[in-house]
Structure 1
Amino acid sequence: MSAVRVLTGLDLPWGSPGGSVELLKDLYLDPSGPLAADAFMLVPDGPQPVAETGTAPPALLDVPGKQLSGEGFWDYVDRLTDAVTARFPHHEQDVVHFQHLAFGATPALLRGYPKQPAIGLVHGTDLLFAAEYPTQGEVLREAVAAARSLVVPTAGMADQLRRLTPVESGRIVHIPWGVPDALLAEPPARRRRDDSELRVLYAGRLTTEKGAAELVVALSGAPGLRLSMASPVAEFRRLSAELDLSAVHHLGWLPRKELWAAFAEHDLLVVPSAKLEAFGLVAVEAQACGLPVAYQPVPGLRDALGDSALPLDLLADPQRALAELARLRDDPGALDELRRSGFRNAAGFPLSRTARELAALSSQVR
């Protein structure tokens, strides 16, 4: 256990979907993990979700009025700063971890704990929102200027960060995100495939940058392909208002272990992200479960997956992408090779290494 006490948090309601929430659980909410941490999130709108086995829930703060831009954003940050500092005394914190370089938690931590050294963890959404919203661009630049080190999971994220703001290479530290060691040691048993169809899975949010709408359009009516989506219910309903999803099997937003079980019941995960991904943790977890992956070759995903998965440009050349999917449907050997290369890739990203390297970095900047 690290002797350094870390303070971190996300200004998202507890129970929110998303990769950064899963990373927070993995790295900071395991009482037996190498990172000794206090963590916070926001009070959920509905009933509080039950914490998963082996994790302790974060402190839940009741701070209304979250928004992304304008003067109202800074009023919200002031309220969040007051709530965080009231909950976590300054003298108990050694190092602050920014879970994003944008949004509200980062400026709240900056204002609330100006004397503690800070480490910033770079996610794809930070960079996308900083490029789109001037207020979030301001937060990102402030966070980058204040952080002792900036942790990027892939070289692609470092390149994207430099495009938004100057940052010295010496402050950028490459630490990949990780797959739980227990999953690598004992993946779920795979369900035998029916060779008459290719069971395609999409897993994630249905926001514009994820490319899910383009995936539905590309696969619509394709013979021998069955598309399932593991995604938030409200987002699936919104997409249903725009597209015909009657042929899509919706699984809902699945808890982590249920998602791993779903990986074992499909033949291919498709990750059609339209812009960038920090790492693509869901894809690497799928590989750990023996599920082959096809992906849009965007920054981040290219670094994490490379030739262990199938680059598939659904956006620029959907017809060729469909032909590739048909080839996989008809060639079990090609799927098996992708499965083997994918598992080898996932084995190189154990979560224990991510946690150890973050703990070591926290000790260095203290």
Structure 2
Amino acid sequence: MRVLVATQLAGSYSKIAGEIIPRLVSSNIDVMVVSIPPSILPLQWKVGDLCYCVKGKNVKFVFNIRRREDLQAITAFHPDAVLNIYEPTMLVLKDILFAASTLKDTAVREGAPFIGYFTLDHYPLRGRGQAQILDDLFDFVIPVTSYEGRLARERLSRCKVVEPVPYGVDHAVYNPSAWSASPMGRKLKEVREFKVIYVGTGSPYKDPGRWYRVVGEVARRGVPVRGVLKLSTAVGTSSMPADVSVLEDVNQLAGKIEYVLGWLDDRELAALVSACDVFLTLSTAEGFCLAALEAQACGLPVVLPDIPQLREVYGDSALYVKREGTWYSGLGGFYVTSSVEDAVEKLVLLYEDAGFRKEMQARSLANAKRYSWDESTAKIIKILESVAGRR
């Protein structure tokens, strides 16, 4: 079977694709990767998220679908299926939609199904016109949770919604002792403060300002806290967010936040996470929160926003922050905001009650064991085999 995988070259979706693609290749599936959005500088990604994950594998790359020779290479590949793994909200951008539509034309000519595998939270399905784009473009969608699968079936009419396939975790990399394999991990482990980590972007919908407020309030409660921020950045960059100093000053956190910038491979990231004490995110919207699952595999308790998808994935293995309200994005998306006071109480409880902290650590490890990239990829392969040649 020949599978064309369209994905981003950096960010969380490239990491997901980077877990799936080598496993497809190991299952004797011929894979070609095409960049969405098109990249005019392929060399800058040679040590990046996706290329790091698939190096040494027999994978063909197409970086710029606008180039005639790249488009000819895709046509000559004769895919049996096209698997799209990228942020679906990008499809509202004209250039991205054009690239995806070009791939869809290739799929139609080859009789190959056009399949999406991504989170389908409220925004892609309820955003103005976005559900229609998904319905028109994709033949099949693989949701990540049952909740999003039900939501997709309500919103999509032509596109078929198959059974959900959750994301996974590589337990050989993400585990409680990962910190010992890295100088960075060993150094952070020696810090005797209560280390609260967040891994992700600094996008407004992640509500980083509220994260700073919570850590600041925990410090004012007398907890010797240290915030650890691993902010996702493009490969080769290490820029500090412009508003960091303001957030530190307002919340009296000068000298209490450790920033880890630049790109880390999985082993370095696992070392960083496993050296901390608790994972905290107050994001206003999440489809799965893979970073929290990786933190659980490292044995960390996780404190999360109270969102239906996360309740499904994490069950009673996580602590959920009470909703403080919702706000409307203006584009059809409703977002949850979390209570600062409740988040503070949960972090203080984890710090002060060692028995409760150990219980949540055990729950985290047990929940993480339910998820595996090997199992998830096997499910995706079964779906690909069942729909290949069907549209």
Tell me, yes or no, whether TM beats 0.5: yes
TM-score (norm 1): 0.80
Q: Which amino acid aligns with 2:18?
A: K
- SS of residue in 1 equivalent to 2:311: helix
**Equivalent of residue 203 in structure 2, options 202, 207, 227:** 207
**Superimposed CA distance per residue, residues 230-271 of structure 1 (whole angstroms, 9 cap, x where no aligned partner):** 003567413427633744211114322211001111000112
RMSD of Structure 2 on Structure 1 (CA): 3.1
Does the Cα contact within 8 Å between 2:141 and 2:162 map onto a contact in 1? yes
Distance 1:31 1:359, change over 3 A: closer
Report the residue type matching 2:113 in the other structure. P
Post-superposition offset of 1:31 = 7.2
Q: Which letter does structure 2 place at the counterpart of 1:217? A: R
- How many residue pairs get matched? 336
TM-score, normalization by structure 2: 0.75
Residue in 2 that maps onto 1:85 = 71
Aligned counterpart for 1:285 among listed residues 294, 316, 320? 294
For 2:5, give the aligned amino acid.
T
Is 1:172 the equivalent of 2:172?
A: no
Identity across matched positions, percent: 19
Shift of 1:162: 3.9
Residue from 241, 244, 252 that aligns with 1:240: 244
Tell me the amino acid that sits aligned with residue 52 of structure 2: E
Alignment gaps of 5+ in structure 1: 64-78
Pairs within 5 Å for 1:145-156:
146-147=138-139, 149-156=140-147
Q: 1:91, 1:189 → 2: CA distance?
A: 42
State the Cα distance separating 1:137 from its structure 2 match: 4.3
Q: Report deviation, 1:296.
A: 0.6
Letter of the aligned partner of 2:21 in structure 1?
Y
Structure 2, gaps ≥5 residues long: 181-185, 324-336
**Distance in 2 of aligned mates of 1:200 and 1:287:** 13
CA contact (8 A) 1:309 1:338 kept: yes
On the 8 A contact 1:308/1:342 being kept in 2, the answer is yes
Which one-letter code corresponds to 2:73 in the other structure? R
Match for residue 260 of structure 1? 270
Identify which range, 197-206 or 39-48, moves more after superposition. 39-48
How far off is 1:204 after superposition? 0.5
User: 1:47 aligned to 2:44?
Assistant: yes
Deviation for aligned residue 1:339: 1.2
For residues 84-136 of structure 1, what are the alpha-carbon distances to aligned partners after superposition, in whole Å with 9 as ceiling and x for unaligned? 532222553111112244522532321222121222213247x52564454x4
Residue correspondence of structure 1 range 86-101 to structure 2 within 5 A: 86-90=72-76, 92-100=78-86, 101=88
2:374 paired residue among 328, 352, 356: 352
Partner of 2:107: 113
Segments ≥4 residues shifted beyond 6 Å: 190-196
Aligned 8 A contact 2:321 2:343 in 1: yes
8 Å CA contact 1:276–1:299 kept in 2: the answer is no
Q: Take 2:239 and 2:125, find their aligned partners in 1: how far apart are those partners?
A: 23
In the alignment, which residue of structure 1 is the partner of 2:63?
61
